[in-house]
Structure 1
Amino acid sequence: MTRSSTPPWVITSRPADLITVDETWCAVTVPEDWIVLMEEALAGESGPAFHEPGLRNLTWIVPIPALEWPDAEAAGVSVVRPGDLLLVPHPDGTFVGPQRFRWLVPPSAPLTPEPRLREAIETITGPLDRAGVPGPIRVCCACDAPTRDAVLVDVYDSMSGTPRAWYACAACCERWQHGRRPRHLRAVPGTSREDRAEESGRDYPLIIPPRGIRPWRQAD
């Protein structure tokens, strides 16, 4: 890919397209419920990234050195390699059922440096060379803390994609069961979800539950 050419992940002929990853770049996916933690960890330094609501993934386009990362799929981190197919949205976004399939950072932006993306992911998983061993990492729907000791608190079976599940960390679940407010531990320094929502005029995370389905953290 030359400096003047259009990147292959920038499509204009259709709302979404399956493209083949070539030898000049790759992609990294993480679970969609990591979105607030990833945004805070990258601190405005994110390159092209999109949300795929069907698979419930966040995907970053990154330089090829990410191919050398340790296998951490058990923790939720996957690398899309040269020769693999990747579904990407139009720059203006499209819909998968009722949900938007869209770029969170424009596809024309400079790529996130591979070491910077890995550093951000490791604030959630710990060192990648050990992250895949204990099992999947969930994000608590009450305090946003990443946890391997999660309790399933709600599920929505979507007809247009993967079922949506909400988890709470053991500490928040225990506090809620005893009539106390969930804790507000932040794994990455930053303001609370509620403060960010008030400042920006939108809810966080960007993945909004379907109408009629409310996360456990919002229960009356």
Structure 2
Amino acid sequence: MTHAEQAALGGAAEIARRHADARADWVRLAAALAEPGLVGAVDAAGAAVMAAVGGGHTVLVAGNGGSAAMSSHVAAEFAGRCVRDRDPLPALSLAESSTSLTAIGNDYGFDQVFARGVRAHGRPGDVLIVMTTSGSSPNIAAALAVARERGLVTIVLTGVRGAQLAGHADHLLVVPSDYTPRIQEVHLMWTHAWCEAVDHVWAR
């Protein structure tokens, strides 16, 4: 066997090991996610989303990086649909417009990009969902502060490092992990569950 073939086999074995580790990680995480207190917290946040949507309020979503992409995804699920056809519901990702983000960031500082969005679009009774794996993003903290001042329902999705945000939101959902990919995957799972619930209630 050539050196190149040995290297290829070794690389394949390493990839297989990483996949096995990821599966084991998910098994451990799934058990933690089934803890009754966390399940109840996720259900309570989902109920708040359902109540707001049912009252004709808007869902605002925000996040940085991969969480920005997910915020756009989640807003699209409400404005479009997730699994069943229904009328569109008002939802907006505050991370969607590069024009707004760069204008606000340039004029007011990057820590204000979401806070200004909340001031522009948020009304009492609306919901602000923020996703932050670290829980330490200044622009997320600023958005939460403005949202609470204006009477929005606030929901934080974070990882174990974001537990310090307790007291800064109405609902704090902590994924019991410090690994960014797993945290983001769970955030998407939770928000998808809420979107599916909305679809089933308001389906045509």
Task: Please tell me the TM-score bracket, short chain as reference.
Answer: under 0.3
With normalisation by structure 1, the TM-score equals: 0.25
Structure 1 or 2, whichever has the larger Rg, is 2
Higher helix share: 2
Higher strand share: 1
